[in-house]
Structure 1
Amino acid sequence: MAIKSFQGAREEIKRDYFHSINVADHMTRKLVTFSPEQTLLEVMEGFMKNRITGAPIVDDRGKLIGIISDSDCMKQISEGRYFNMPICDMTVGKYMSTDVMTIAADANIFDAASQFYRTRHRRFPVVENGYLIGQISRKDVMLAALRISGHNWR
């Protein structure tokens, strides 16, 4: 016995189940950056003003040359007290990390999540031909996962 529907033909609802999962679509493009000539005091003020914990260091052409974090500042505050050295004279270029792990704009958020999981980094600069084009953070990856949760990931 076949069951017949008396509701008639239903309009097919087209749903967009596929969302972009590329780093480029979820990264932050408006970044707070510093130059190597700035002082650690300026960096700490910038961190507090913008509520961030780290930032890329770029040269005058926008090329990524390093990264500075609140941990770098904490180290210098701690050592400054011990050696009686004021932090206001310390320049970023001397204390930034120059071995910066980056991620490609066309990488997917799953690769980014894996890279975050394997390292203790909180952010990865996104570069194109050496130039800084954005940054993705752990928070950005989690927000991307929330936006596409319940949908098919491709």
Structure 2
Amino acid sequence: MFRRSPDHIEETNMRAVDVMTRKVITVGPGTTVREAACLFADNHISGAPVVDDEGRLLGMLTEGDLIHRAEIGTQARRRSWWLEFFASTQNLAATYIKENARLVKDVMTPKVITVKETTPVSEIADLLERHRIKRVPVLYDGELLGIVSRANLVKALASVPKEAGVTTPNPDQTLRDSVIRELGGHRWAVAAENVIVNDGTVHLWGVVTSLEQARAMCIAAEKVPGVKGVEDHTDAPMLIPAM
């Protein structure tokens, strides 16, 4: 069973954005099951997010969704006739779909546990253990940013300094705190959770009402010593047309 992250990791304030895999192999809902199986085998992966053309998460496809298939004779063992008699038609139909459907959209798991880019790794470790899963997609406003797997957490553990009891401040977290302080007190600034720092680059997210507001935030972030660059991901509010 996967255990909770050690205190060393929690003390470094690592978050999903610090440990996630950014270049994620994905599949589309219209991908065939055979094509997905080839993708898994060729890239040595055991799961992939299912996304639409805009990069929004629709579900997750894993090896578990592909192991019981009619093509290779690995269908689930049939129940005795009396158990099957009492089984719901919904469950029987769902099993048939898993074993025979041609497209990913019919065999994927649609209900996916996800995290935000700001979720602490300690919470992610708890999710993986509690739900007995191997990975969680990282989302921002429904869009896939990356994925955190058990392997990512193991790599995070390996990055902890060897000296027992010695914690090294996360430079990105320190820089983020400075940027948030610089933005603090300004009515035009976005909320703190919309400020992400990765490798010295500040990423600003959220909804703004003007180009001036977005530019002011960029200038404020650029003023902070140590900032290597600023990327503006902010967007205008979605307007809903009157009926």
TM-score, with structure 2 as normaliser: 0.51
**Structure 2 residue aligned with 1:65:** 58
Give the root-mean-square deviation of aligned CA atoms: 2.6
Gaps of 5+ in 1: 1-17
CA distance in 1, matches of 2:56, 2:37: 22
* Shift of residue 76, structure 1, vs aligned partner: 2.8
The residue correspondences of 1:31-110 to structure 2 (distance < 5 A) are 31-77=24-70, 78-79=74-75, 90-110=102-122
CA distance in 2, matches of 1:112, 1:152: 20
- SS of 2:125's equivalent in the other structure is helix
Superimposed CA distance per residue, residues 28-50 of structure 1 (whole angstroms, 9 cap, x where no aligned partner): 00011000001110111000111
- SS of 1:140's equivalent in the other structure is helix
Go from structure 1 to structure 2 and tell me whether the alpha carbon gap of 1:117 and 1:153 turns closer, same or farther (over 3 Å shift). Answer: farther
- SS of 2:59's equivalent in the other structure is strand
CA distance in 2, matches of 1:94, 1:75: 14
Superimposed CA distance per residue, residues 37-76 of structure 1 (whole angstroms, 9 cap, x where no aligned partner): 0111011100011100000000011000010000100023
CA distance in 2, matches of 1:89, 1:99: 18
**Structure 2 residue aligned with 1:136:** 148
- SS of 1:125's equivalent in the other structure is strand
| Contact persistence 1:21–1:153 (CA under 8 A) | no
* Shift of residue 88, structure 1, vs aligned partner: 9.1
Q: How many residues are matched?
A: 135
Runs (4+) off by over 6 Å = none
Percent sequence identity is: 29
* Shift of residue 102, structure 1, vs aligned partner: 0.5
CA distance in 2, matches of 1:34, 1:88: 19
| Contact persistence 2:33–2:103 (CA under 8 A) | yes
Superimposed CA distance per residue, residues 70-129 of structure 1 (whole angstroms, 9 cap, x where no aligned partner): 01000235239x9xx9x8971000010100000111111111111111121101000100
Larger relative contact order (C-alpha < 8 A, sep ≥ 6)? 1
- SS of 1:74's equivalent in the other structure is coil
CA distance in 2, matches of 1:61, 1:70: 25
CA distance in 1, matches of 2:55, 2:32: 19
**Which amino acid is 1:103 matched to?**
V
Question: Of residues 7, 14, 22 in structure 2, which corresponds to 1:29?
Answer: 22
- SS of 2:64's equivalent in the other structure is helix
Go from structure 1 to structure 2 and tell me whether the alpha carbon gap of 1:97 and 1:153 turns closer, same or farther (over 3 Å shift). Answer: farther
**Structure 2 residue aligned with 1:152:** 167
Gaps of 5+ in 2: 1-10, 79-96, 170-243
* Shift of residue 19, structure 1, vs aligned partner: 4.5
**Which amino acid is 2:129 matched to?**
Y
**Structure 1 residue aligned with 2:197:** none
